A and B are shown apart, each in its own frame.
Chain A
Amino acid sequence: MMEIGLNHYLVLSTILFAIGLVGVMRRKNLLLLFFATEILLNAVNVAFAAISHYYGDLTGQMFAFFVIAIAASEVAVGLGLLIVWYKRHGSIDLDALATMKG
């Protein structure tokens, strides 16, 4: 109980990942959908850092860095696309995006 091991961190990572998935499934506004994806990436980062610490291997931290870099570029491109979409349609709801639905 008082000794924090790898399993504690993996369980915490699972809980955070589940919260992020609930957000992805229930959000309709695209900006808040992006928030949920950030939660997913952070949950995976916690798991990477914990495994890196408990095995004395720095590879996990390296991958966490690359995940952060990719998340930053994802936000930049995603917000640019959202601005273009908002200028054209006046809303960023997912329902307005479903025009290609057959």
Chain B
Amino acid sequence: MFEAIAFYLFAFLTITMFMITVMTSHALYALTALAAGMIFISAFFFILGADFLGAIQIIVYTGAVMALYAFGMMFFDTTRELKEKQGNKYIIAGLSILAAVLVVVIFAVPMVSENIVALYPAIDGVGNTQNVGLVLFTKYLIPFELAAVMLLVAMISGIVLAGKKMDLSITLMNDAEIEEENNKKVLS
């Protein structure tokens, strides 16, 4: 009963927020609606018993990703009104719904066609976080390490792309060169 009420309430709120994100012409409204939608998505994870995933959703998406986007919005002057592509609306909506149904069929067909046996069943008596830890650090250890390397690559590339003067090494220059570099007008 309460699960149904919570599901429908959060489904309505999430769909509304994401519609605002997609349809509005103000970038600030889109950003705040997207942040709200992310928090409402985490409610589904809590309903489904995936507590750790819900907490990670709030921390990573509304904490880190939204902060990055807010930084990007301050950098790019997106306060003016946005122009949009004016294509045929019916074609766009039809293609979108077709593709979304295709994705769900891809998910659903393996479940319908065979009886699924849980590969890594949840252990009773321990919490969700402990279960996640048990599976993540035994069966999925190598993807976990690869994800760590991936995040390191992303961090380095973000610093190199967004940082200034990354082609200079202060430790390899003598004092005169550093002084000259400081006096030079910064181009970008």
Q: Which residues of A contact B (CB under 8 A)?
A: 1-4, 8-23, 25-29, 31-32, 34-36, 38-39, 42, 44-47, 49-53, 55-59, 61-62, 64-66, 68-77, 79-84, 86-87, 92-93
Chain A residues whose C-beta falls within 8 Å of the C-beta of B172 in the assembled complex: none
B127 on the interface (CB 8 Å rule)?
Answer: no
**Pairwise interchain contact A28-B118, C-beta atoms closer than 8 A:** no
**Pairwise interchain contact B27-A62, C-beta atoms closer than 8 A:** no
Q: A26-B87, A31-B73, A75-B68 are in contact. Are A9 and B100 (CB under 8 A)?
A: no
**Pairwise interchain contact B14-A25, C-beta atoms closer than 8 A:** no
Sampled A-B contacts (11; CB under 8 Å): A2-B1, A14-B100, A15-B100, A26-B87, A32-B30, A38-B61, A38-B65, A57-B116, A57-B120, A57-B121, A64-B50
List the 3 closest pairs (A to B, CB-CB), nearest first: A80-B161, A73-B154, A21-B96
Give the residue of A11, A38, A84 whose beta carbon is less than 8 angstroms from that of B161.
A84
Give the residue of B19, B45, B118, B158 whose beta carbon is less than 8 angstroms from that of A76.
B158
Chain A residues whose C-beta falls within 8 Å of the C-beta of B76 in the assembled complex: 31, 82, 86, 92
Number of residues in B with C-beta < 8 Å to the partner? 82
Interface SS of B by simple majority: helix
**Pairwise interchain contact B151-A53, C-beta atoms closer than 8 A:** no
Q: A35-B31, A86-B75 are in contact. Are A55 and B107 (CB under 8 A)?
A: no
**Pairwise interchain contact A20-B151, C-beta atoms closer than 8 A:** no
A32 to B83, CA, bound (A): 11
Mask, B121-139, CB within 8 Å of A = 1, is 1100000000110011001
**Pairwise interchain contact A32-B72, C-beta atoms closer than 8 A:** no
Residue of A nearest to B97 (CB): A18
Give the residue of A8, A22, A64 whose beta carbon is less than 8 angstroms from that of B53.
A64
**Closest CB in chain B relative to A59 CB, distance in Å:** 6
A65 to B188, CA, bound (A): 38
A46 to B118, CA, bound (A): 19
A42 to B28, CA, bound (A): 20
A62 to B167, CA, bound (A): 39
17 more A-B contacts (CB under 8 A) besides A42-B41, A49-B44, A62-B139?
A9-B44, A12-B15, A22-B22, A22-B96, A26-B22, A29-B27, A38-B61, A39-B22, A39-B37, A47-B107, A53-B48, A57-B119, A57-B120, A57-B121, A68-B57, A76-B157, A80-B162
A13 to B162, CA, bound (A): 35
A36 to B139, CA, bound (A): 32
**Pairwise interchain contact A56-B122, C-beta atoms closer than 8 A:** yes
Residue of A nearest to B123 (CB): A58
B170 on the interface (CB 8 Å rule)?
Answer: no
